[in-house]
A and B are shown apart, each in its own frame.
Chain A
Amino acid sequence: MNIGRNLLLLALALLCSVASAGAVKIEISAPGEQEIPLALTAFLPMGPDRPEIAAELNAVLRADLDLSGLFSLVDRAAFLSDADKLGLNSAQVDFAQWKLLGAEAVIKGGYRIEGGQLIVEARLFDVISRRMLTGRRYIGKPEEARRIAHTFADQVMLSMTGSKGPFSSRIAYVSNRTGKKELYLMEADGHAPIRLTSHRGIVLNPDFSPVGKELIFTSYQQGNPDLYRKEIYTGREARLSHRQGLNIGGRYSPDGREIAVTLSRDKNSELYLLGTDGTIHKRLTDHWGIDVDPSWSPAGDNIAFVSDRRGNPHVYIVDVDSLEVRRLTFDGKYNATPAWSPDGERIAFARMENGVFDIHTIRPDGTDERRLTFGPGNKEHPRWSPDSRFLVYSLDRAGEKAIYLMRADGTGQRRISAPGGDDSHPAWSGYW
Chain B
Amino acid sequence: MKVPEKHSWRRLQARLEPGFKRMLLLSVAIHLLLPALYAGLHYFSPPRQKPPVYRVNLVNKPVKNPQAGRPEAGPEKKKTVEKAKPKPVVKPKPAPKPKPKPDVKKVVKPAPKPEPKPVAKPKPAPEPTISNAAEQSLQQKLETLRREQERDDRLAALRENLAREREKIDAPVGEVTGKGDQAGVDEANYVKAFITEQWRYSPYLGNNWNLEAQWLLTYSAEGTLLTYKAISSSGNKAFDDSLLRAILKSKELGQKLEKRTEFEVTFNLRDMQNR
Contact = CB atoms under 8 A, between A and B. Distances in A.
Chain B interface helix/strand/loop/mixed = helix
B73 interface: no
Contacts of A22: 262
A104 interface: yes
Contacts of A100: none
Contact of B266 (A28, A30, A104, A343): A28
Contacts of B196: 28, 30-32
B199 A28 contact: yes
Interface string B240-275: 011011101100000000000111111111111001
Given A70-B205, A160-B205, A32 B238 contact: no
Nearest to A163: B206
Contacts of B187: 24
Contacts of B224: none
B245 A104 contact: yes
A26 B245 contact: no
Given A28-B192, A161-B205, A343-B207, A23 B245 contact: no
Nearest to B238: A161
B202 A20 contact: no
A389 B201 CA distance: 16
B195 interface: yes
Nearest to B196: A32
Contact of A129 (B195, B248, B271): B248
B225 interface: no
Contacts, number: 112
Contact of A128 (B202, B206, B249, B275): B249
A32 B264 contact: no
Interface in A31-47: 31-37
A32 B249 CA distance: 13
B273 to A, nearest CB: 9
A192 B46 CA distance: 100
A412 to B, nearest CB: 10
B238 A162 contact: yes
Contacts of B264: 20, 23-26
A361 to B, nearest CB: 12
A154 B265 CA distance: 33
Contacts of B216: 20, 23
A162 B234 CA distance: 14
Interface in A138-176: 160-162
A126 interface: yes
Contacts of B206: 161-162
Interface residues of B, number: 42
Contacts of B249: 128
Contacts of A343: 207
Interface string B176-207: 00000000000110011001111111111111
A126 B245 CA distance: 9
A160 B237 CA distance: 9
Nearest to B204: A69
A68 interface: yes
A401 interface: no
B263 A28 contact: no
B245 A129 contact: yes
A30 B200 contact: no
A70 B202 contact: yes
A31 B244 contact: no
A84 interface: no
Contacts of B226: none
B197 to A, nearest CB: 4
B231 interface: yes
- Which residue, B188, B202, B207, has most C-beta atoms of chain A within 10 A? B202
Nearest to B189: A26
A21 to B, nearest CB: 9
Nearest to B237: A162
A301 interface: no
Interface of A: 19-20, 22-37, 68-71, 104, 126, 128-129, 160-162, 343, 345, 388-389, 407, 409
Given A26-B195, A26-B264, 16 more contacts: A23-B262, A24-B187, A24-B188, A25-B188, A26-B263, A27-B268, A28-B265, A28-B267, A32-B196, A33-B199, A34-B200, A35-B200, A36-B202, A128-B244, A128-B245, A161-B238
24 contacts: A20-B216, A23-B216, A23-B262, A24-B262, A24-B263, A24-B264, A29-B271, A30-B196, A30-B269, A30-B270, A30-B271, A30-B272, A31-B246, A33-B200, A36-B242, A68-B204, A104-B245, A126-B245, A161-B204, A162-B236, A162-B238, A345-B207, A388-B207, A409-B275
